[in-house]
Amino acid sequence: MSVKVLIYAYRKPGMSLEDFKTNYDSHIDLIKRLTGDDFPVAHKRSYVARTTVEVAPEGASDRNSLTPATVLVGQQSDFDFDAFAELTFADQAAFQAFGAKVYAPDAAAEIAADEEKFLDRSKVGIAMLGDVIETNK
């Protein structure tokens, strides 16, 4: 049975949206290099749709006062994260093999140093997903 992990990522304060995306995408190349065959079956990243404005809209958060999310339902503060990623592993053993590689001391240090360039590491959230149900047309 596959294992899925969800990551909420926040860019460093003051970093542009494009620089964040560029850095995050290249970060995945680093993870691929460090984990080799133990990289997840899929690592899907989705970026929150944001616009750059001159004046903060009502209800804008401090973090994204001039780059509000395109919110359809909810509050700006509900969407302070800049991206979420869904990692899919073939099974629990594959997830554990990946974890062993990314948490190995040398790799963990290299990953942390790279993340410091673009992530607000104090805000990152990671959780296992339970049942995933997809409904298609």
Instruction: Specify the pLDDT at position 131.
Output: 86
Instruction: Specify the pLDDT at position 76.
Output: 86
Contact 124, 82 (CB under 8 A): no
Average pLDDT over residues 76-87: 93
| Residue ranges of domains in the chain, CATH in brackets | 3-49+81-128 (3.30.70.100)
Please say if the pLDDT value at position 109 is more than 90.
Answer: yes
Average pLDDT over residues 33-54: 95
The answer to whether the pTM exceeds 0.85 is: yes
Tell me which of 11-15, 32-36, 115-119 is least confident. Answer: 11-15
Find tokens 């409904």 and name the residue. 135
SS3 8: strand
